[in-house]
Chains A and B, each alone.
Chain A
Amino acid sequence: SQTIHQWPATLVQPVGSPLSLECTVEGTSNPNLYWYRQAAGRGLQLLFYSVGIGQISSEVPQNLSASRPQDRQFILSSKKLLLSDSGFYLCASGGRSSYNSPLHFGNGTRLTVT
């Protein structure tokens, strides 16, 4: 079965500082990868998804970007963090081309921008 690794688990960053969150996946190949964000007291919002190396689709306009340099590596970045970037960031992995295949989530990174 798949394992999704995310780090760090918690992060406190000042406004205007850069951000890099990493997600790696074990136990599968050629997955679709996703970044979600959950603001405090809110639901999960899909930010980015990727169907392959170098292929990124953005769901919402924002201060963040994503990259997929390797098949099982997905990175979320920002050049200058805003207060509104605070939240719980989750990486998910799922099989391609199949709605009959669940997504699996990592344990998330809790980001606080001060």
Chain B
Amino acid sequence: DAKTTQPPSMDCAEGRAANLPCNHSTISGNEYVYWYRQIHSQGPQYIIHGLKNNETNEMASLIITEDRKSSTLILPHATLRDTAVYYCIVRGGYGGATNKLIFGTGTLLAVQP
């Protein structure tokens, strides 16, 4: 799986949009970009994933650049409950059906009141 690079921490004001960047410059054509978050002492929560096109669901939007070398997760109206570590993971490629997720260190998003 390709490596990802994320800032270690970010702040966001409550009610504002949180834009979390991720670089994945070595991504392959059949690898997906996944986003998870982990609130303290809980299991990781799936947020969204995409391959080439931008994606939106009830939690967030995922913007993937045209060359697919970077992406941005957007939480449109951050709340205090969105404070968590956010993981950007590139997943896929060749080599079988193990479907593993390999986590990096993520970005600690602190939503400020």
Contact = CB atoms under 8 A, between A and B. Distances in A.
Contact of B102 (A46, A57, A99, A104): A46
Contacts of A105: 43-45
A108 to B, nearest CB: 5
Contact of B46 (A51, A97, A100, A102): A102
A107 B43 contact: yes
A44 B99 contact: no
Interface residues of B, number: 26
A105 B101 CA distance: 11
In which size bucket is the chain A interface? 20 to 34
A34 interface: yes
Main secondary structure of the interface of A (DSSP, over half): strand
B47 to A, nearest CB: 9
A44 B45 CA distance: 13
Interface string B72-94: 00000000000000000001110
A92 interface: yes
B43 A90 contact: yes
A32 B110 CA distance: 33
Contacts of B32: 99-100
A101 B101 CA distance: 11
A96 interface: yes
Interface of A: 4, 32, 34, 36, 43-46, 49, 51, 57, 88, 90, 92, 94-108, 110
Given A46-B101, A105-B43, 12 more contacts: A34-B100, A34-B101, A43-B105, A51-B97, A51-B98, A92-B44, A96-B97, A97-B99, A100-B49, A103-B99, A105-B44, A105-B45
18 contacts: A32-B97, A32-B98, A34-B101, A43-B103, A44-B38, A44-B103, A46-B102, A51-B97, A98-B99, A99-B92, A99-B93, A100-B32, A100-B51, A103-B101, A104-B46, A105-B43, A108-B43, A110-B41
